[in-house]
Amino acid sequence: MPIDPEFPKNQKVIGKHQHSDGQNFHFVWGPGRTAEAAENEEVKKAYEARGEQLVPLGVHGTMVALDWDSCIADGACIEACPVQVYQWYRTEQDVPAIEMQNTASAGTGEDHSREGRKDYTDKSDPIRENDCIWCMACVSVCPTQAIKVDQSNLEYHERASGTFNEELAKSSAPPPHAH
């Protein structure tokens, strides 16, 4: 079950993951569901080894959106991204993924290789969502199609943040077709 491409319409904001630069943040959409991560043997074993519960986590990010319930910690996206939008969240804060819904990260996770994951409970986190250059490299390499990159989802991000400018959106809309 890949990421729901319509997640900003079908789901709600359930969290706000801040960047500790004090400016940037990404939303978390949910409620989440049971998907690829809950069916993957390596992921299940890793949760068991840590004594953590495998619970629905939702989608991190809006323009660069990664469904953590579909993420199996493959890491292809982390290696593919030319501008290091992603980090392994556990390499910075080694806590259960559910605690990342409302928190702040500094983006200091260092290892950007696939093998840099702490273990298979780790998730790829779009901590530098704002740096995305829309190359789509991460989308095509993800084995579970957990990623949706869509620049036009900025509207949903701005609506959720209360910064969406209705007037500006109207004035920049294309003119009606002239006959």
Q: Tell me which residues touch ligand SF4 (CB under 6 A).
A: 64, 80-83, 85, 132-138, 149
- Least Cβ distance, residue 7 to ligand SF4 (angstroms): 16
CB of 82 to ligand SF4, least distance (A): 6
Decide whether 34 or 84 has the Cβ nearer to ligand SF4: 84
- Of 134 and 154, the one with the shorter C-beta distance to ligand SF4 is 134
The nearer residue to ligand SF4, 49 or 136, going by C-beta atoms, is: 136
What is the distance between the alpha carbons of residues 117 and 124, in angstroms, rounded to a whole number?
9
Closest to ligand SF4 by CB, 3 or 64 = 64
The least CB distance from residue 60 to ligand SF4, in Å, is: 12
Closest distance of CB 173 from ligand SF4, Å = 26
